[in-house]
Amino acid sequence: MSDATSAISVPVAQPARRGTQIGRTFRESRTAYMLLAPFLILFVLVLAYPLLYSLYLSFFNATLNKAPTFVGDGNFAQLATDADFLTALRNTVFFTVFVVIGETVLPLFLAIAMNEHLPFRTFLRTTYFLPVVTSWVVVSLIWSMMFSQQGLVNGFIAAVGFSPEPFLSDAGQAMGIIIAVSIWKNLGYYMVIYLAALQGVPQELYEAAAVDGASKIRQTWHIAIPALRPVIYFVFTITIIRSMQVFEQSFIITNGGPLNATLMLVVLLYRHAFVNLEFGYGSAIAAFLLVVLVALALLNRRVHDFLVQ
C-alpha cells in the first residue's frame, strides 16, 4: 500500500528573501516615497551633506582658496585650551539652564490661565503669540535700542528719578537681557503647545475632583500636570536643543560683549568661520556642539524612560 502522504505534495511556504521583502515594500509604498522625495533630496543637499562635510573639515586646517591641511585632532585639542571657547561654553550652559527653566515653566502657567474662560482670552492668546511670529533680527534690534544708554527703559528710569543703568555695558545685566528676550519671544509658542495638550484632558476629571472638594490648585497639580507630562518632556528637550544654539540675540544685541560676557558657542563659531576664515576650527566647534546636543538628547530620553517605568 502506498503511503498516502507521499501521493499528496503539499506546497511548503519558503521564507521570503529579505531583498524581495524590501522590493515589495517599496513597490507598495512607491507613492509615499515619491511624495517624500523632494524633502529627502533637499535634506541630503542642505543638511546631511553640509553636516558631514563640516565634520570632515573639523580635522583640517581649512581657509579660503587654499587646499585644506590635515591636522587630525589638532582643532579639538585647541578647543580645550582656548579661553574664548571655554568662556562661550560656560555662557551657553548658563544661558541654557535659565532659559530652559523659564521656557518650560512659565508657558505652562500661562497655558493653564488661558485655559480658563477669561474675558478677552482670544486677544490675550494672540498677544502672547505675536512675538513668536516676529523675526529674531527685528526683536533683537528693538531690544538693543530699548536697553541702550539712551533707550526707552533708561528714559523711563530717569523720569522716575533714578540713575540710568548700564544694561548692555554690564556683564550680568547684558546676560540677563539676552535671557529675558529669549524667554519672552518663545513664551507664546510653548504656551500654545501646552494649551493644545490641556484641552485634551477630560473635563470629567476636573468635575469629579471639584465634587471631592479639590481646589483649583490641587486640580491643576494632580490632574493637569500629570496629563501634560509627555508635553513637558517634549518642551524640555526642545528648549535645551534650541538654547544651546543661541545666536541672533547675542550677536545683534551685544555681539558677545561686553568683554565676552554674552559670547555664545555659535557666535564664536561664526567669528572663527566667517570673520577669521578658519573653517576647520569653526567646524570643530560645530562638531563639539553636535556631540553635546546628541548626548543631551539621548540622556534626556534615558531619564524619561526611567521615570515612565
For other proteins (CB under 8 A), the number of binding residues is 30
Query: Which one of 5-13, 60-68, 93-101, 218-226 is the stretch in contact with other proteins (CB under 8 A)?
Result: 60-68
Query: Which one of 184-192, 199-207, 274-282, 291-299 is the stretch in contact with other proteins (CB under 8 A)?
Result: 274-282
Q: Considering only residues 23, 24, 26, 41, which one is a binding residue for other proteins as defined by CB under 8 A? A: 41
Query: Which one of 3-11, 101-109, 118-126, 275-283 is the stretch in contact with other proteins (CB under 8 A)?
Result: 275-283
Per CB under 8 A, 276 contacts other proteins: yes
Minimum CB separation from other proteins for residue 163, in Å?
A: 9
Nearer to other proteins, 1 or 275 (CB): 275
Q: Which of 179, 183, 172 is nearest to 92 (CA)?
A: 179
Per CB under 8 A, 47 contacts other proteins: no
Per CB under 8 A, 6 contacts other proteins: no
Minimum CB separation from other proteins for residue 225, in Å?
A: 42
Per CB under 8 A, 168 contacts other proteins: yes
87: CB partners within 8 A, 6+ apart: 260, 263
Cβ-contact 171, 259 below 8 angstroms:
yes
Nearest-angstrom CA–CA distance, 128 and 170: 29
Per CB under 8 A, 34 contacts other proteins: yes
Per CB under 8 A, 5 contacts other proteins: no
Per CB under 8 A, 161 contacts other proteins: no
Per CB under 8 A, 118 contacts other proteins: no
Per CB under 8 A, 150 contacts other proteins: yes
Q: Considering only residues 157, 166, 189, 289, which one is a binding residue for other proteins as defined by CB under 8 A? A: 166
Which positions touch other proteins (CB under 8 A)? Answer: 30-31, 34-35, 37-38, 41-42, 63-66, 137, 148-150, 164, 166, 168-169, 252, 255, 257-259, 271, 274-277
